[in-house]
Amino acid sequence: MNKLINIEQAIDLIKDGDTIFVGGFLGVGSPHRLIDALVKRGTKNLILICNDTGTPEVGVGKLVVNKQFRKIIASHIGTNKETGRQMMEGETEVELVPQGTLIEQIRSAGYGLGGVLTPTGLGTEYAKGKQIINVDGKDYLLEKPLFADVAIIAATKADKFGNLFYHGATRNFNNITSSAAKITIAEVEELVEIGDIDPDIVHTPGIFVEYLVNGGK
Amino acid sequence: MNKLINIEQAIDLIKDGDTIFVGGFLGVGSPHRLIDALVKRGTKNLILICNDTGTPEVGVGKLVVNKQFRKIIASHIGTNKETGRQMMEGETEVELVPQGTLIEQIRSAGYGLGGVLTPTGLGTEYAKGKQIINVDGKDYLLEKPLFADVAIIAATKADKFGNLFYHGATRNFNNITSSAAKITIAEVEELVEIGDIDPDIVHTPGIFVEYLVNGGK
Amino acid sequence: MDVKSFIAKRVAREFKDGNLVNLGIGLPTMVANYVPENINVIFQSENGFIGLGPAPAPEQLDPAITNAGGIPVTVKPGAAFFDSATSFGIIRGGHVDYTVLGALQVDEKGNIANYMIPGKMVPGMGGAMDLLTGAKKVIVAMEHTAKGSLKILKKCNLPLTAINAVDLIVTEMGVIEVTPEGLVLKEINPEYTVEQVQAATEATLIIKGKPEIMKLD
Amino acid sequence: MDVKSFIAKRVAREFKDGNLVNLGIGLPTMVANYVPENINVIFQSENGFIGLGPAPAPEQLDPAITNAGGIPVTVKPGAAFFDSATSFGIIRGGHVDYTVLGALQVDEKGNIANYMIPGKMVPGMGGAMDLLTGAKKVIVAMEHTAKGSLKILKKCNLPLTAINAVDLIVTEMGVIEVTPEGLVLKEINPEYTVEQVQAATEATLIIKGKPEIMKLD
């Protein structure tokens, strides 16, 4: 059960056409080395599910600039003009989802739910085409699960079983996406021995993490 | 914003007829001093929402023995014969809910969802009367939010703002129920100053906790 | 005092001791600078924490601690970090007392448009739809017009971020409350007449007696 | 070796290195004692952790670390504690490889009844419905009959805990696989004949060639 692989082995796991989760919020808590290696590899026709598309120079935005996505599902693309350009010119399909809905959709996938009901977006254009379900007199949108083939995430610390610990605001989407991908690869700043993370403070149980990449600080 | 109150003040906050969440799993992680004080006070006609009903001598089971509930919503009552007796003899209404469904119903209430869709219980008597929703060809039960007036929970450590930390398996329902009650009262083993719990390891943000009771070990 | 600071200072007067507040990017962020010293307001950052503090001194800078705009910040004692699911549970679940956002348009039903101009600017809703749906009170903080073009309308014509969401509009001209009857001019900047404010507002302002003078202290 | 240990030992042979396994109360708990030494199996405890270890020595006893039956246990290095929402996310989300439970009745459709006898015993489903729905493989570990009364039926007549859920039935008489065609007797305890096993089974056993001899090592 050795989960530690090198970056090239990690990138081998992402195939043309795959749907990928990428952790991070405007690049904070993103797996930067994995992203750089994926840019270098040039894997194409990917579907991205991510909170945002970073900037052209930071985080997942580099993959946008390199035109590796055929579709992007995100809550915000305003910090990366290239995403907007590709959308406007019809090069890349972009689906915008409210941030709180997006994370619940991913959680539904990872946690075995058929979806959740949320009031967010009711009455707006976002709601068009979505099923409305009335619960005790109140309307909600039915939001379905979102799965991925591979999640690439970042963590501050990991033990060799894959238990993850995040510092500061880097937890964001990393924690939940690990539960909803067939393969989760965590790029970690610090790798410690099994038993070196107090079980009370593990943020992501190691069972959600298939592979570890030692990313350094 | 002084959240620290004594046990009598805490029990004053629970009124006859209230719906209460009680944290704990077979008494592990239950607020034992608050329960004892509530037994002594004898507040009546309560609705209980709890994982289980403990045993006649341990945890929330003492409140069952004292006949303080008109209704009990729980996943398991088998360790407390008195709950079964009250149910069989029609003294107390008992609604049994799968454990994973129960915690999602409480989370839905606290997290602003209209409910979740789960496959758990499909095709069984539990599903009778529940709305079935088909998502992409698969059936799910619609499970609605469960709110409470007061949550009484237990934590290992708290700072004076109400940030909570749990040791071991005591987290169980305590963490989530705090989000779904109008008033949450946490009985804590150790009370520390604000700033004395590392923000990275807080399990329950203090905004979910209205009152603290110093319970001691 | 410049116009933006004036608006931010007036918004800050709405808060009460212990309130949990989320501030949007831009002008709303400035509100934090004007919270009265005699009250304790707690700020939430939707990327994953409660207890947002001021910008760091160079030696305090921690790349893992940024606000929702990706800008380095600090956290105050008693802070707690969490993942995006918890963050938006707090938001959607009604645990945020005030959200302060800018707007492209607001109308007399409390509808708000602030996330896209079709064909021109499509940044995405980020967390705005959830905040508008979930926060107990929504304050729009913005300049009264956009270089003369009206923003407070009878009916928004840009895609809505949320319906019936706005409670209060604070501009450099006055303070407008959204009521079931329409927009009530509650306070006015003495540098303007009621007629001037109405001329800068497409919706008909309801005047109940004489509007109070906008107070900043 | 007594009957229960015999069954537990055979069940343990199903596991592969790295499997995540949840063991029910009673006989299934004994399975942990027989995991082959050359593989590493990880146990989940639905009250909130992964990494369940053996019973504590007196000096190791920690009242916060108990199994789902409330019995003190230990955790192994690499363990992680979490709340009930995460615990059942792991269960419902298909992350548990095997769940091992007892049963009152099982039938040829893989239906299982193990949580109540109406009017007699209504303990509640606890986490069983979620485990039966979510685990990748469900193993029923039980004595073949209850003091002579049949338990492996054509059709369960007690209220079901889950439909089409069971994959494998391990008893002291043999190993039975639930297939779309019905129950296949895969292995037999050489102390019994096929006729004896069939006589103790209401459902018709499908025999494909000669059943293998039950092996425990």
With CB atoms and an 8 Å threshold, state whether B51 touches D62.
no
Task: Chain A: give the shortest CA distance to residue B20, in Å.
Answer: 21
C160 neighbourhood in chain A, CB within 8 Å = 123-125
Per DSSP, the three-state class of B94 is strand
Q: Contact A113/D92, CB-based, under 8 Å?
A: yes
For an interface test with A, give the residue of D42, D74, D88, D136 to mutate (most A CBs within 10 A): D42
Phi, psi (deg, nearest 5) at residue B215 = -95, -15
Query: Range of B195's domain?
Result: 7-98+147-214
Nearest by CB to residue B194, choosing from C17, C77, C89, is C77
Find chain A residues with C-beta within 8 A of D51's C-beta: 199
**Residue B211: its chain C contacts at CB < 8 A?**
none
> Which residues of D lie inside 8 Å of A (Cβ-Cβ)?
17-18, 20, 40, 42, 49-51, 75, 77-82, 86, 88-95, 133-134
Q: Residues of chain A with pLDDT > 70: what percent?
A: 100
Look at residue C21 and give its three-state secondary structure.
strand
Bridge partners, C212 (sequence order):
C187
d(CA B133, CA B139): 6
Q: Of the listed C14, C37, C46, C143, which one is catalytic?
A: C46
Residue B175's pLDDT is: 97
A-chain residues near D17 (CB < 8 A) = 1
| Pairwise CB contact (< 8 Å): A172 & C83 | yes
CA distance C64 to C113: 31
Cβ distance C65 to A173 less than 8 Å, yes or no, reads no
User: Are the beta carbons of B13 and B209 closer than 8 angstroms?
Assistant: no
**Position B61 in a domain:** yes
Please tell me the distance in Å from C13's CA to the nearest CA on chain B. 19
Domain assignment present for residue B13? The answer is: yes
Between A and B, how many residue pairs show a Cβ–Cβ distance under 8 A?
A: 70
**Nearest-CB residue to B87 (from D47, D69, D122):** D122
> Is B140–A115 a contact, with Cβ atoms under 8 angstroms apart?
yes
Polymer length of chain D = 217
- Specify whether the backbone of C119 is left (phi greater than 0), alpha (psi in -120 to 50) or beta: left
Residue pairs spanning B and D at CB distance below 8 A: 146
Please provide the average confidence, as pLDDT, over all residues in chain B: 97
C-beta atoms of A1 and D50 within 8 A: no
In this complex, the chains that touch A, judged by 3 or more CB pairs closer than 8 A, are B, C, D
Residue with token string 């690990």: A178
Of B28, B52, B175, the CB nearest to D83: B175
Does C46 participate in catalysis according to the annotation? yes
Is residue B211 predicted with pLDDT exceeding 90? yes
Q: Let me know if residue A198 belongs to a domain.
A: yes
Asked whether residue B217 carries a pLDDT value surpassing 80, the answer given is: no
Nearest-Cα residue of chain B relative to residue D91: B100
Please state, in angstroms and rounded to a whole number, the distance separating the CA atoms of residues C85 and A118. Answer: 13
Neighbours of chain B (3+ CB pairs under 8 A): A, C, D
What is the count of structural domains for chain A? 1
Which pLDDT does position C1 carry in this prediction?
Answer: 85
Could you give the CA distance from residue D22 to residue D138 in angstroms, rounded to a whole number?
10
Cα angle D126, D117, D200; round to 5: 105
Q: Check pLDDT > 80 for residue B194.
A: yes
Cβ B187 vs Cβ B153: under 8 Å = yes
Query: Measured between beta carbons, which residues in chain A are less than 8 angstroms from residue D77?
Result: 194-195
Would you call B133 and A133 a contact, using CB atoms and an 8 Å cutoff? yes
> Cβ separation of A124 and C124 shorter than 8 Å?
no
H/E element holding C9?
helix C3-12
Per-residue pLDDT, C6: 97
- Which residue among A1, A113, A163 sits closest to D80, beta carbon to beta carbon? A163
Tens digit of pLDDT at every position of chain D (217 positions): 899 999 999 999 999 999 999 999 889 999 999 999 999 999 999 999 999 999 999 999 999 999 999 999 999 999 999 999 999 999 999 999 999 999 999 999 999 999 999 988 889 999 999 999 999 999 999 999 999 899 999 999 999 999 999 999 999 999 999 999 999 999 999 999 999 999 999 999 999 989 999 988 7
Question: What's the whole-model pTM score?
Answer: 0.98
Which among B26, B99, B203 has the least Cβ separation from residue D130? Answer: B99
pLDDT tens sequence across A101-134: 999 999 999 999 999 999 999 999 999 999 999 9
Alpha carbons A133 and A152: distance in angstroms, whole number: 34
Neighbours of D194 (CB within 10 A): 15
Where do the H-state alpha helices sit in chain A? Answer: 7-12, 32-41, 61-65, 81-88, 99-110, 174-177
Cβ(A23)–Cβ(A35) below 8 Å? no
Band (A215; pLDDT cuts 50, 70, 90): confident
% helix, strand, coil for chain A, step of 5 = 25, 30, 40
* CB atoms A202 and D80 under 8 Å: yes
pLDDT digits (tens, 9 = 90+) for A135-192: 999 999 999 999 999 999 999 999 999 999 999 999 999 999 999 999 999 999 999 9
Q: A66-79: buried (b, 16+ CB within 10 Å) or exposed (e) per residue?
A: bebbeebbbbbbbb
Confidence check: pLDDT of A217 > 90: no
- B93 with B74: CB under 8 angstroms? no
Q: Is residue A130 part of a domain?
A: no
ipTM: 0.97
Q: Is residue A166 part of a domain?
A: yes
pLDDT of residue C121: 87
Provide the pLDDT for residue A114: 98
Burial of B138 (0-12, 13-18, 19+ CB in 10 A): exposed
Backbone angles phi, psi at B83, to 5 degrees: -60, -45
Split into its structural domains, chain C has a count of: 1
Whether residue B114 lies inside any domain: the answer is no
* Contact list, A123 vs chain C (CB under 8 Å): 160, 162-164
Place of tokens 């239950």: B30
Question: Quick one: pLDDT band at residue B185, thresholds 50, 70, 90?
Answer: very high
- On chain D, the residues whose CB falls within 8 A of the CB of A1 are 17-18, 40
SS3 B35: helix
In a domain? residue A105: no
Does A137 fall in a domain?
Answer: no
Q: Do A111 and D79 touch (CB under 8 A)?
A: no
pLDDT at C127: 97
- Residues lower than pLDDT 70 in chain C: none
Residue pair B135/A144 in contact by the 8 Å Cβ criterion: yes
Which residues form the domain of C126?
3-213
Question: What's residue A186's pLDDT?
Answer: 98
Residue B171 confidence (pLDDT) above 90: yes
CATH of the domain at C69: 3.40.1080.10
HSE-up of residue B124 (Cα within 13 Å, Cβ side): 29
A interface mutation test: which of C67, C83, C104, C112 has the most A CBs within 10 A?
A: C83
Number of H helices, E strands in chain D: 5, 16
Closest approach of B112 to chain C, Cα-based (Å): 4
> What are the DSSP calls for B98-115, one per residue?
-HHHHHHHHHHHHTT-SE
Percent of chain A with pLDDT over 90: 98
- Output the CA torsion C138→C144→C147→C151 (10° steps): 60
pLDDT of residue D120: 87
Indicate if the pLDDT at residue A1 is higher than 80. no
Residues of D noted as catalytic: 46
Q: Which CATH number is A85's domain given?
A: 3.40.1080.10
Alpha-carbon distance of D125 to D127, in angstroms, equals 6
**Set of chain B residues whose Cβ sits within 8 Å of the Cβ of A145:** 135
From chain A, the residues in CB contact with D40 under 8 A are 1
**pLDDT tens digit string along B17-59?**
999 999 999 999 999 999 999 999 999 999 999 999 999 999 9
pLDDT for the residue numbered D18: 95
B8, two tokens: 């009598």
Provide the β-strand partners of residue A49.
A21, A73
- Show the DSSP H helices in chain D as ranges: 3-12, 27-30, 84-92, 128-134, 194-199
Q: Of A185, A101, A178, A186, give the one whose Cα is nearest residue A147.
A: A178
Determine whether the interchain pair D81/B168 forms a contact, defined as Cβ–Cβ distance below 8 Å.
Answer: yes
**Which of A109, A112, A207 is facing D42, going by the closest CB pair?**
A207
Tell me whether residues B161 and C40 touch, CB distance under 8 A: no
CB D42 within 8 A of CB D79: no
